[in-house]
Amino acid sequence: MNRSLSWFNVTSLVLGFAFLYIPILLLVLYSFNASRLVTVWAGFSTQWYAALLENDQLLDALWVTLRVAFLSSLAATVLGTLAAIALTRYGRFFGRTMFSGMTYAPLVMPEVITGLSLLLLFVAVGMERGFWTITLAHITFTMCFVAVVVQSRLITFDRTLEEAALDLGCTPLKTFFVITLPLILPAVLSGFMLAFTLSMDDLVIASFTTGPGATTLPMRIYSQVRLGVTPEINAICTILIGIVAVVVLLASVLAKRQEKMRRRAEQIAARG
Amino acid sequence: MAMAGEKGRGRLLVIAVPYLWLLALFLVPFLIVLKISLSQDVIAQPPYSPVFDIAGGWAGFRDFLSQLSLANYGYVLSWDNEFIAAYGSSLVIAGVSTALLLLIGYPIAYAMARAPKGLQPMLLMLVILPFWTSFLIRVYAWIGILSPEGFLNQGLAALGLIDQPLEILNTDLAVYIGIVYSYLPFMVLPLYSALEKLDGTLLEAAEDLGCTPFKAFWTVTFPLSLPGVAAGALLCFIPAVGEFVIPDLLGGSDTLMIGKSLWTEFTVNRSWTASSAVAVLLLVLLVVPIVIYQNIQARQLEAGR
Amino acid sequence: MAADKARTQTIGAVRRTFAPWNDPTATPLIRFENVAKRFGEFVAVDGVSLDIYEREFFALLGPSGCGKTTLMRMLAGFEEPSAGRITLGGQDLAGVPPYRRPVNMMFQSYALFPHMNVWDNIAFGLRQDGMPKAAIKARVEEVLALVKLEPFARRKPHHLSGGQRQRVALARSVAKQPKVLLLDEPLTALDKKLREDTQFELMDLQMSLGMTFLIVTHDQEEAMTVADRIGVMNLGELVQVAPPAVIYEQPATRYIADFIGDVNVLETKVVTAGAEGVELASEKTAYPLHIAQPLDAAVGDTAWLAIRPEKMRIALVPPAHLADNCFEGVIWDIGYLGDLSIYHVELACGTRIKVSQPNVSRLVERPITWEDKVWVTFSPDGGVVLTR
């Protein structure tokens, strides 16, 4: 579908994006406020960023969060990719319906249920709660997101490429690493990024499955927010948004460059 | 059959590893929740009874079964407690929010699908981008906007529209705003992907056959976008029913939502058995929409095979 | 020039005399023995037996879904037969995975690895065999020269035109010097002109490499142009295996007659049948029909006369010694194709037959026009009698 935009369409877009972005912009703006009051502008200042560096609790939480996110998204990428292959490639197998159910259900499962059930599991098996239980919990719910992302790439994957490799004498395992994986890598990487962000972002599941000594950044932010709104939180939020913005921008610039090269190549091919 | 053996082993490994993981960390935990919801609280470690002991054998198992009871469900479903009201109000809040999301999200998705092809990737990214920033941060941002001395009240007062600040924060209205804001990308994306696939010549054909553009929208575009509507609605409705962060940070003390009730039961009342019963009942309430959602997902992702 | 001529002459000599399928002492390279393939309820290939000989260019022809691709994929090793046996050079292929079979395939989509350049695509198969680097280099360069793609060696597939991609796919599949090259609809993605040129290039390549080629196609012209023999498939069965001219002129069944080229099929009754010829009678015409074809049939049996549009003559006046092999009718429609015209003639009974005539003069006004009364005649060796 591709037709001209009416004034109604343009208005929907402008209002929609204003709704999505104004709260974030205000948040960023007031992280540079000189006043302790979050809603009254009193001049530009970076004092809250300086204060962040003094806040050991917050920095500790950030470190825990990054470690959990890195480990869990790495494992989730492997498990999710395997699940995606099983679901797209292996046709029917015993218990397939249950498997696909377990893969898609966590996408919409209310977090309180996932969190509570995992906590009760860890208690039942007598596992000491903390860093590792959060990591296990995050692997479980983020691997399903990876599976969906990779699966949607795999269904459009041209399987004759794999058959061609087999035909030319390449073993199935080697074919996966030499042909399939390089070609689905963008999807696997965006699955990884998604898992990383979801893990960094999670408050509820981490709160259920954590133990003494392992406080993640969202948990720390949450407990501070409950005490009241402070510019310090605005500052840390701004940093997080900044990191995401830079990464996304970089990814899109790279994608655009690749697209441009592909277009040029097609033009060359058309002429040749 | 050397090949079948080789292929079989690889295949088994690829299926078994994620399968066993999900069984152990997704399905088994639910069974444990179910079991604990039928147990009683005790002051011990773990804080519930009976504890299933495999060493007890068959007699131990019978003994274990006889100690299970529905007492927690009686507690949760009693009118004296607020759980029933919380379930009801969660469904209402999630339902109304989903309707609002559809009303707001559809025109955005529709405009995106009609935008020039070159512009579409950028618009798509603008919708996805907030999703990459922390959910908690986005909810937090609204506290500053909706509070009595917040930006909204400042703005309205500056325009001379109000004398007294409006009480929005800590009300159900703030919860609605928070849900619509946080879930908007989840509504727009499936709608956009359904509308974007729509063949523009269908609309031209409808208009050629004498349909006004308005009528063509309702007789061609909208029916064809229904799978996207269903996917978007379920993707928002199901998690919204169990939402905890938004009612906790934006809602008031009288805002009842079951996710918050469960949290309170667990962290404040410290009753693991009652919170398990709350979780089981919530799952029972959501099982139909979840199964429908799974089928839509499976059909979408596996149709291409 | 002289060398070219010499080569053409040897190719011509080989082409003229190549017919191992008529030699009872020749051993086939590939044998399909009662091969069947079922996908659940669906029978894709139903008991096919077929011998293909070394250096043969064999075409499997049939409409989509007839099982020809499945038959080829079983030879490549992508599907296991549900029943029957496939042997290659005497070796049973059951259980041999595709990556250990001495056959290579050129895919319909070409299946070029998009993340590798032309050189690496062609070298891919050689590298799997652990060939020394220098040998790989020599072989890739040799094959690149064969398909005239040396200047494009460092390009990625999406930097190439459709015809170039097709040649890379071909080069990649011949690089390992397989015993058999399988070609799955290799030319469908090319436009008509390029396709026709490439058909002749493929034939030359097959001759000069001395390889056995098995091509799967739904394009009858392509099959007739390139192949030594054609196997026509329908609904999972092999219905006729023969050289192109035999398939066209002496089809075994009405299905084949109708599938290959244009044909008029008329239901008739056998009047006399013998070793020297047949006489048929039809409700479509008052004249007896004589066909110079031995036929083993009883008097009164139903038989079908299949006659191609170009095998008939059309005239505005009855022929001088009119006794048999004639239809009378009225011109219903005319299709002018430039080199020839197709006339649709309506017979008295309402049946319409197609007759084509070469346009030998440059007159724009044709003498025969709509609603003219015409006589359509043919010689006894123009038609073929079919009992199936």
> Which residue stretches of chain C are H helix?
2-17, 68-76, 118-128, 133-146, 162-174, 192-209, 220-226, 244-249, 254-259
Q: How far is CA C341 from the centre of its chain?
A: 25
Interchain pair B147, A39: CB under 8 A: yes
Handedness of CA B20, B21, B24, B28 (dihedral sign): negative
C336 Cβ neighbours under 8 A, 6+ residues apart: C359, C366
Tell me, what amino acid is at C146? L
B208 touches chain C (CB under 8 A): no
> Which residue stretches of chain A are H helix?
7-29, 47-54, 56-89, 96-108, 111-124, 131-154, 160-167, 172-175, 181-201, 204-209, 217-227, 231-271
Using CB atoms, list chains with 3+ pairs below 8 Å to chain A.
B, C
pLDDT tens-digit readout, C347-367: 888 888 899 988 887 776 768
Structure tokens that stand for B259 in this block: 């996710």
φ/ψ of residue C372, rounded to 5: -70, 145
Q: Is B20 part of a structural domain of the chain?
A: no
Q: Is B2 part of a structural domain of the chain?
A: no
The pLDDT of residue C134: 93
Structure tokens that stand for C28 in this block: 């086939």
Domains in chain B, number: 1
Cβ proximity of C190 and C166 under 8 Å? yes
Ordered strands of the C302-307 beta sheet: C289-291, C278-281, C264-273, C302-307, C383-386
- Rounded to an integer, the average pLDDT of C259-279 is 84
pTM for this predicted structure: 0.81
Interchain pair A173, B10: CB under 8 A: yes
Tell me, what amino acid is at A124? A
Confidence of residue C374 (pLDDT cuts 50, 70, 90): confident
B2 touches chain C (CB under 8 A): yes
Angle between helices A56-89 and B272-302 (to 10 degrees): 50
**Domains of chain A by start residue, with CATH:** 7-271 (1.10.3720.10)
In A, which residues are within 8 Å of B250 by CB distance? Answer: none
The minimum CA-CA distance between C94 and chain B, rounded to whole Å, is 8
The minimum CA-CA distance between C70 and chain A, rounded to whole Å, is 14
In C, which residues are within 8 Å of A266 by CB distance? Answer: 158
Cβ proximity of B223 and B242 under 8 Å? no
- Where are the domains positioned within chain C? 24-254, 263-386
Distance CA A238, CA B137 (A): 9
Question: CB neighbours (10 Å) of residue C60?
Answer: 28
The pLDDT of residue B304: 46
CATH at B125: 1.10.3720.10
Cβ proximity of C66 and C220 under 8 Å? no
Q: How far is CA A126 from the centre of its chain?
A: 30
The pLDDT of residue A268: 63
Cβ proximity of C126 and B33 under 8 Å? no
Q: Mutating which of C80, C105, C182 best tests the A interface, going by the most A Cβ atoms within 10 A?
A: C105
Angle between helices B272-302 and B258-267 (to 10 degrees): 140
**Residue B119 pLDDT exceeds 60:** yes
Interchain pair C124, A170: CB under 8 A: yes
Which residue, among C317, C302, C288, C298, has the nearest Cα to C380 in the 3D structure? Answer: C288
The pLDDT of residue B4: 45
Distance CA A144, CA A80 (A): 6
The pLDDT of residue C1: 47
For the ranges A131-135, B78-82, B222-226, C41-45, the lowest mean pLDDT is seen at B78-82
Residues of chain C that touch chain A, judged by Cβ-Cβ distance less than 8 Å = 76-78, 97-100, 103-105, 107-109, 111-115, 124-125, 128-129, 156, 158-161, 164, 172-173, 176
Higher-pLDDT residue of C350, C154: C154
Higher-pLDDT residue of B186, C287: B186
β partners of residue C48: C35
Cβ proximity of C38 and C204 under 8 Å? no
Interchain pair C77, A165: CB under 8 A: no
Measured torsion, CA atoms of residues C194, C196, C197, C202, in degrees rounded to the nearest 10: 110
pLDDT tens-digit readout, C195-236: 888 888 888 888 888 899 999 999 888 898 889 999 999 889
**Residue C263 pLDDT exceeds 50:** yes
Q: Domain C24-254 in CATH: superfamily?
A: P-loop containing nucleotide triphosphate hydrolases (3.40.50.300)
The pLDDT of residue C70: 92
Q: Domain C263-386 in CATH: superfamily?
A: Nucleic acid-binding proteins (2.40.50.140)
C250 Cβ neighbours under 8 A, 6+ residues apart: C242, C384
pLDDT tens-digit readout, B207-230: 778 788 888 888 888 898 998 899
- Rounded to an integer, the average pLDDT of B248-265 is 87
Considering chain A, what is the average pLDDT of its residues?
A: 86
Place of tokens 């089981």: B280
| Chain B to chain C Cβ contacts (< 8 Å) | 9
**Percent of chain A topping pLDDT 90:** 35
Interchain pair B22, A99: CB under 8 A: yes
In B, which residues are within 8 Å of A140 by CB distance? Answer: 21-22, 25-26
- Rounded to an integer, the average pLDDT of A115-126 is 91
In B, which residues are within 8 Å of A109 by CB distance? Answer: 238-239, 242, 290
**Concatenated DSSP letters for C131-181?**
--HHHHHHHHHHHHHHTT-GGGTTS-GGGS-HHHHHHHHHHHHHTT--SEE
Distance CA B167, CA C161 (A): 67
Q: Is B235 part of a structural domain of the chain?
A: yes
Domain containing B134 equals: 81-302
Burial classification of residue A136, based on how many CB atoms lie within 10 Å of its CB (0-12 exposed, 13-18 middle, 19 or more buried): buried
B12 touches chain A (CB under 8 A): no
pLDDT tens-digit readout, A145-197: 999 889 988 988 888 999 999 999 999 889 999 999 999 998 898 899 889 98
> Which residue stretches of chain B are H helix?
2-22, 28-37, 57-67, 71-76, 83-114, 120-132, 135-146, 151-158, 172-196, 200-208, 213-216, 222-224, 226-241, 245-249, 258-267, 272-302
Considering chain C, what is the average pLDDT of its residues?
A: 86
Interchain pair C99, A166: CB under 8 A: yes
Interchain pair A108, B239: CB under 8 A: yes
Q: Mutating which of B34, B132, B199, B299 best tests the A interface, going by the most A Cβ atoms within 10 A?
A: B132
The pLDDT of residue B43: 67
Beta-strand relationship, C278-281 and C91-92: unpaired
Using CB atoms, list chains with 3+ pairs below 8 Å to chain B.
A, C
B1: nearest CA partner in chain C: C95
Q: How far is CA A23 from the centre of its chain?
A: 21
Confidence of residue A84 (pLDDT cuts 50, 70, 90): very high
Q: How far is CA C143 from the centre of its chain?
A: 27
Q: Is B156 part of a structural domain of the chain?
A: yes
The minimum CA-CA distance between A83 and chain C, rounded to whole Å, is 23
For the ranges A75-89, B84-98, B288-302, the lowest mean pLDDT is seen at B288-302
pLDDT tens-digit readout, C4-22: 555 555 666 666 678 888 8
Q: Is B286 part of a structural domain of the chain?
A: yes
Confidence of residue A78 (pLDDT cuts 50, 70, 90): very high
The pLDDT of residue A271: 57
**Residue A266 pLDDT exceeds 80:** no
**Residue B204 pLDDT exceeds 90:** no
**Residue A83 pLDDT exceeds 60:** yes
Q: Mutating which of B297, B300, B302 best tests the A interface, going by the most A Cβ atoms within 10 A?
A: B297
Q: Is B262 part of a structural domain of the chain?
A: yes
Q: Is B73 part of a structural domain of the chain?
A: no
Confidence of residue C184 (pLDDT cuts 50, 70, 90): very high
C52 Cβ neighbours under 8 A, 6+ residues apart: C28, C29, C30, C31, C58, C180, C212, C214
Can the peptide bond before residue B46 be classed as cis, meaning omega within 30 degrees of 0? yes
The pLDDT of residue A240: 82
Nearest CB to A100 within list B28, B185, B298: B298
Handedness of CA B168, B173, B175, B176 (dihedral sign): negative
Considering chain B, what is the average pLDDT of its residues?
A: 84
A60 touches chain B (CB under 8 A): no
β partners of residue C278: C273, C291
The b/e string for A101-128 (b: 16+ C-beta within 10 A; e otherwise) is bbbbbbbbbbbbbbbbbbbbbbbbeeee
**Residue B31 pLDDT exceeds 70:** yes
